[in-house]
Amino acid sequence: MTLQHRLPPRATTLPAAERGQPADRPVGRIPVTGVRPAVDAGDFPARSVVREDITFSATVFREGHDAVSATLVVTGPDGHREHVPMTCVNPGLDLWTAQTSADRPGRWSFRVEGWSDPYGTWSHDVAIKVAADVDTELMLEEGARLLERAATELRLDHDARDVLVDAARGLRDSAQPPQQRLAAGLSDDVRCVLDHQPLRELVSPSPTYPWLVERERALTGAWYEIFPRSEGAHRDPETGDWVSGTFRTAMRRLPAIAQMGFDVVYLTPVHPIGEVNRKGPNNTLDAGPKDPGSPYAIGSKDGGHDALHPDLGDWDDFDAFVAESERLGLEVALDLALQCAPDHPWVSEHPEWFTTRADGSIAYAENPPKKYQDIYPLNFDNDPEGIYAEVRRVVQVWIDHGVKIFRVDNPHTKPVEFWQWLISDVAASHPEVIWLAEAFTKPAMMHTLAKVGFQQSYTYYAWRNEAEELQEYCEDLAGDTAAYMRPSFWPTTHDILTPYMQFGGPTAWRLRAALAATLVPTYGIYAGYELMENVARPGAEEQIDNEKYEYKDRHWPDFEPGGPRYDESLAPYLTTLNRIRREHPALHWLRNLHFHTIDDDAMLAFSKRRTLADGTDDVVIVIATTDPHSTRDSWVHLDMEALGLEPGERFTAHDLITDTPWQWGEHNWVRLGRDSEPVHIVHVRRS
- Dump the DSSP string for 413-442: GS-HHHHHHHHHHHHHH-TT-EEEEE--S-
Name the helix (H) or strand (E) containing 113.
strand 106-116
Tell whether the model's pLDDT for residue 670 goes beyond 50: yes
Mean per-residue pLDDT for 486-496? 98
pLDDT for the residue numbered 99: 97
| pLDDT number for residue 25 | 78
Instruction: State residue 164's pLDDT score.
Output: 97
Do 239 and 215 touch, CB atoms closer than 8 A? no
* CB 252 within 8 Å of CB 232: yes
Under 8 Å between Cβ of 499 and 534: no
pLDDT for res 369: 78
Report the alpha-carbon distance of residue 647 to residue 638 in Å, rounded.
10
Rounded distance between C-alpha atoms, residue 334 and residue 401, angstroms = 11
Active-site amino acid positions: 409, 438
Phi-psi sector, 543: left (phi>0), alpha (psi -120 to 50), beta: beta
User: At 384, phi and psi to the nearest 5?
Assistant: -60, -40
Rounded alpha-carbon distances, angstroms, from residue 481 to 38, 444, 448, 450, 484 = 11, 12, 11, 10, 6
Beta carbons of 461 and 490 less than 8 angstroms apart: yes
- Whether pLDDT at 314 is above 70: yes
Instruction: Report strand pairing: 95-100 vs 54-60.
Output: antiparallel
Q: What is the mean pLDDT of residues 576-602?
A: 98
For β-strands 405-409 and 331-336, DSSP reports them as parallel
Give the angle 554-556-561 at the CA atoms, nearest 5°.
Answer: 150
Q: How far is CA 674 from CA 508, 671, 677, 678, in A?
A: 9, 10, 7, 6
How many contiguous H segments (helices) and E segments (strands) does the chain have?
16, 33
Of 624, 620, 566, 611, nearest to 593 (Cα)? 620
Among 611, 537, 613, 525, CA closest to 573? 525
pLDDT averaged over every residue in the chain: 95
State residue 367's pLDDT score.
Answer: 79
CA distances from 495 to 271, 278, 502, 661 (A): 19, 18, 13, 40
Strand ranges for 555-666 from DSSP E = 593-595, 597-598, 603-611, 617-625, 631-637, 651-655, 660-664
Model confidence at 260, in pLDDT bands (50, 70, 90)? very high
Least confident window among 2-6, 468-472, 492-496 = 2-6
- The mean pLDDT value for 265-292 works out to 96
pLDDT digits (tens, 9 = 90+) for 414-459: 999 999 999 999 999 999 999 999 999 999 999 999 999 999 999 9
Global pTM? Answer: 0.93
The answer to whether the Cα torsion of 554, 559, 563, 565 is positive or negative is positive
d(CA 313, CA 296): 18
Cα separation of 621 and 642, whole Å?
11
**Which residues have CB under 8 Å from 177's CB, separation 6+?**
none
Q: What is the pLDDT of residue 687?
A: 75
CA-to-CA distance for 364 and 297, rounded, in angstroms?
Answer: 11
Average pLDDT for residues 259-281, to the nearest whole number? 97
According to the model, what pLDDT value does residue 366 have? 87
* Residue 267 clears pLDDT 60, i.e. is over it: yes
Strands of 548-602, DSSP E: 593-595, 597-598
d(CA 311, CA 71): 60
Split at pLDDT 50, 70, 90, the class of 541 is: very high
In the predicted structure, residue 258 carries a pLDDT above the cut 80: yes
Pick the more confident residue, 635 or 370: 635
Nearest to 93, CA basis, from 182, 18, 33, 3? 33
Q: Give me the mean pLDDT over the 13-23 stretch.
A: 49
pLDDT of 118 > 90? The answer is yes
Q: How far apart are CA 226 and CA 295, in angstroms?
A: 12
> What phi and psi values does residue 336 have, to the nearest 5 degrees?
-110, 105
pLDDT 10s digits, 327-372: 999 999 999 999 999 999 999 999 999 999 999 999 999 877 778 8
For 512-524, b/e burial (b = at least 16 CB within 10 A) is bbbbbbbbbbbbb
Task: Tell me which H or E stretch contains 251.
Answer: helix 247-251
For residues 473 and 414, give the distance between their C-alpha atoms in angstroms, rounded to a whole number. 26
Q: Which residue from 510, 525, 515, 438 is spatially nearest to 223, judged by alpha carbons? A: 525
What crossing angle do the helices spanning 158-171 and 178-185 adopt, rounded to 10°?
Answer: 160
CA-nearest of 226, 254, 229 to 242 is: 229
| pLDDT (0 to 100) of residue 23 | 55
Torsion of CA 183, 188, 191, 195, to 10 degrees: 170
CB 206 within 8 A of CB 111: yes
Find all residues with CB under 8 Å of 141, minimum gap 6, and list them: 171, 172
Between the alpha carbon of residue 25 and those of residues 17, 28, 59, 97, 141, the distances in Å are 12, 9, 16, 23, 40
Q: Given pLDDT bands bounded at 50, 70 and 90, which one contains residue 26? A: confident
| Closest alpha carbon to 621 in 590, 647, 656 | 656
- The 3-class secondary structure across 183-235, one letter per residue, is HHHCCHHHHHHHHHCCCCEEEEECCCEEEEEECHHHCCEEEEEECHHHCCCEE
Q: What is the pLDDT of residue 1?
A: 32
HSE value, Cβ hemisphere, 13 Å, CA-based, for 542: 12
Q: What is the DSSP pairing of strand 487-489 with strand 456-458?
A: parallel
Torsion over CA: 481, 579, 543, 472 (sign): positive
pLDDT at 10: 37
The Cβ of residue 381 has, within 10 Å, a number of other Cβ atoms equal to 9
C-alpha atoms less than 13 angstroms from C-alpha of 546 in its C-beta half-sphere: 24
pLDDT of amino acid 233: 98
- Give pLDDT, residue 592: 98
Residue 20 pLDDT: 53
Backbone angles phi, psi at 130, to 5 degrees: -65, -40
For residue 642, report the phi and psi dihedrals to the nearest 5 degrees. Answer: -65, -25
Q: Please tell me the chain's helix, strand, coil percentages from 3-state DSSP, rounded to the nearest 5.
A: 30, 25, 40
Is residue 300 classed as helix, strand or coil in its secondary structure? strand
Confidence at residue 92, expressed as pLDDT on a 0 to 100 scale: 87
